[in-house]
Amino acid sequence: MKNRRDFLKNMGALTVGSVLLSSYKYAPKRVKDAGIQLYTFRQEMLADPKGTLKIIADLGIKQVESAASAKGLFYGLTPTEMKQTCRDLGLTLRSAHCGIDANWQKTIDQAAESGQEYLVCSTIPYAGATQSNYQRIADRFNTAGEECRKAGIKFGYHNHDYEFKEDGGLVLYDVLLVNTDPELVYMEMDLGWVVAAGKDPLKYFKDYEGRFPLWHLKDMKGKNSVEFGKGTLDITGLLKQSKEAGMKYFFIEQEEYPAGSPLASMKINMEYLNKLDV
């Protein structure tokens, strides 16, 4: 009887161990370190920046990208206040959107004071859908990259869909990629807008490997922002190719709110990400 009890005991241990080993071996790889573009909560940030950042932190967000607003780059907070508020909430102020305008040097100085890593231009500085104009833009971006590097910041550019027009058989976004220095200009790819323009982000990852350290993760139906899983973006497939893209951080951006509010939409987005196996 003793030998039989020992045998059954050992078999039970092996069974439990096998289950645990199997569970560990096939455990899904979860999405970590999610970020948000604060344009998602644009009205809320203007009304109550500190309270809204607390709501964002409670969602499980870790990285923050700010955006220029009617109250400045940090929604009425000073650069130091923005940095400290994020830090107190377990957030990292990683980046901010801006334009290259008459206040460009002031924007660089504020970004440096806030301690952020990236400063991202989100609009083209010169109008015109031509190769020659995009060459001019590329030259300006290279200069902006040098100006930011002197301040200890990395300069980036965020696309929409209009950069994917063609002139003379060339895609204008490609003109930017070819003519900007990868050591000075870091691309933030808005995946939703690339797909909306009829282009394939995966092809860009392959053709320009490592050029896209920042992403905007945005699901879209046509040209309308929808919650994750409700549009045409292959979120899982793209995240699985993040290494080829060179992605270091991604920021969720919700421009419209089919669920009714920024918070309702973001809860859906975070629940979706938490179930992925990437």
Average pLDDT of every residue of the chain: 92
The yes-or-no verdict on residue 22 having pLDDT over 50 is no
pLDDT at 6 (0 to 100): 55
The yes-or-no verdict on residue 32 having pLDDT over 70 is yes
CA dihedral 251, 254, 260, 263 (to 10 degrees): 20
The yes-or-no verdict on residue 8 having pLDDT over 90 is no
pLDDT at 31 (0 to 100): 80
pLDDT at 5 (0 to 100): 54
Q: What is the pTM of this model?
A: 0.89
Average pLDDT over residues 20-33: 62
Residue range 168-181, pLDDT digits in tens: 999 999 999 999 99
The yes-or-no verdict on residue 263 having pLDDT over 60 is yes
pLDDT at 244 (0 to 100): 97
Q: Which residues neighbour 103 within 8 Å (Cβ) at sequence distance 6 or greater?
A: none
Residue range 96-108, pLDDT digits in tens: 999 999 999 999 9
CB 248 within 8 A of CB 214: yes
The yes-or-no verdict on residue 278 having pLDDT over 90 is no
Distance CA 207, CA 49 (A): 40
- The more confidently predicted of residues 6 and 273 is 273
pLDDT at 161 (0 to 100): 96
Q: Count of CB atoms within 10 A of residue 158's CB?
A: 24
Average pLDDT over residues 250-268: 98
Residue range 65-97, pLDDT digits in tens: 999 999 999 999 999 999 999 999 999 999 999
pLDDT at 18 (0 to 100): 46
pLDDT at 277 (0 to 100): 84
The yes-or-no verdict on residue 41 having pLDDT over 50 is yes
The helix/strand/coil state of 260 is coil
The yes-or-no verdict on residue 119 having pLDDT over 70 is yes
pLDDT at 21 (0 to 100): 45
Alpha-carbon distances of 253 from 98, 169, 192, 220, 269, rounded to whole Å:
16, 31, 10, 11, 10
The yes-or-no verdict on residue 9 having pLDDT over 80 is no
Structure tokens that stand for 163 in this block: 């950069």
In this structure, of 6-10, 45-49, 187-191, the range with the lowest mean pLDDT score is 6-10
The yes-or-no verdict on residue 12 having pLDDT over 70 is no
